[in-house]
């Protein structure tokens, strides 16, 4: 194995040198690292398999000699990928979250800037109404499952079946619409149950004022959204006559 000789206070010490085994130059690896980061920022990050194929294509395009196994598999080896990650600790493998193309297109620097510009103009015109955050509301929906996914548990080695007791094996989807204002106040929510007809006992032990609706799929629909807005107006007291924070 090729080694480096380092001078440490008059004593020569041998240390491992892996640079001679590197396939790409440092500048080329830096370009690859920047490309991977750019792809992630654009919402098209590469997996380990895609990265290995890209590295092989990069080597072929640049006429770089590679290991025969690369040519056989048409991708870089796992050993090279591990070494590349160790040389660039700023890269890490992360579990990606799903993001729709519509949200990715709309949520950009320009659109966010326009939103805050309009918000600032609104504050300047109606500072007495919005400055304290009481009349700024956020309504968002989330899915609530009736059966939660079990966590990892300890079990004996060789156990052929490991299970965790739950209320049911398959849960049903319940959509919950939460309402919060800019001052941190939480208002009664609205829940959509996967049923044809809503039954009041479904809201047993719920937050006082919670309203229930029924939909076969358990999800929000355009037909139900009108009921959601009526519930929003009733719990927040929003109207043309009650637009001042002190009027409830």
The residue ranges of the chain whose pLDDT is under 70 are 1-21, 129-131, 146-148, 150, 153, 159, 165-171, 241-248
Q: pLDDT per residue over 186-211, tens digit each?
A: 999 999 998 889 999 989 888 889 99
User: Residue 108 carries which DSSP code?
Assistant: S
Mind listing the pLDDT tens digit for each residue in 93-136? Answer: 888 888 887 777 888 888 899 989 988 887 788 777 666 777 78
pLDDT of residue 10: 53
The pTM (predicted TM-score) of the whole model is 0.50
DSSP character string of 126-154: SHHHHTTSTT-EEEEEEEEESSPPPPP--
**Burial readout 13-42 (b: 16 or more C-beta within 10 A, e: otherwise):** eeeeeeeeeebbeeeebeebbeebeeeeee
Q: Measure the CA–CA gap between 41 and 34, rounded to whole angstroms.
A: 11
Name every residue whose Cβ is closer than 8 Å to that of residue 209 and which is 6 or more positions away in sequence: 187, 188, 235
Instruction: Provide the sign of the torsion angle of the four alpha carbons 85, 86, 90, 93, taken in this order.
Output: positive
Domain boundary assignment for the chain: 3-87, 98-131, 133-147+167-248
Q: Cα dihedral sign for 100, 101, 106, 108?
A: positive
């Amino acid at each position: 194995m090729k080694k480096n000789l380092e001078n440490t206070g008059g004593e020569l010490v041998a240390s491992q040198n892996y640079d001679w085994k590197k396939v790409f130059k440092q500048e080329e690896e830096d370009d690859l690292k920047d490309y991977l980061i750019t792809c992630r920022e654009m919402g098209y990050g590469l997996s380990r398999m895609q990265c290995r194929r890209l590295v092989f294509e990069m080597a072929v395009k640049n006429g770089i000699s590679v290991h025969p196994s690369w040519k056989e598999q048409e991708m870089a080896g796992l050993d090279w990928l591990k070494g590349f990650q160790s040389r660039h600790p700023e890269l890490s493998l992360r579990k990606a979250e799903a993001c729709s193309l519509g949200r990715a297109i709309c949520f950009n620097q320009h659109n966010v800037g326009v939103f805050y510009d309009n918000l600032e103009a609104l504050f300047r015109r109606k500072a007495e109404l919005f400055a304290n955050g009481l009349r700024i509301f956020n309504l968002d929906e989330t899915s609530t499952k009736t059966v939660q996914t079990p966590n990892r548990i300890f079990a004996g080695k060789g156990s052929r079946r490991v299970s965790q007791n739950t209320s049911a094996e398959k849960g049903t989807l319940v959509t919950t619409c939460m309402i919060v204002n800019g001052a941190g106040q939480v208002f009664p929510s609205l829940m959509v149950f996967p049923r044809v007809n809503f039954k009041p006992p479904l809201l047993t032990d719920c937050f006082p004022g919670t309203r229930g609706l029924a939909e076969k799929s358990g999800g929000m629909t355009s037909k139900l959204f009108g009921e959601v807005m009526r519930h929003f107006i009733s719990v927040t007291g929003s109207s043309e006559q009650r637009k001042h924070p002190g009027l409830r």
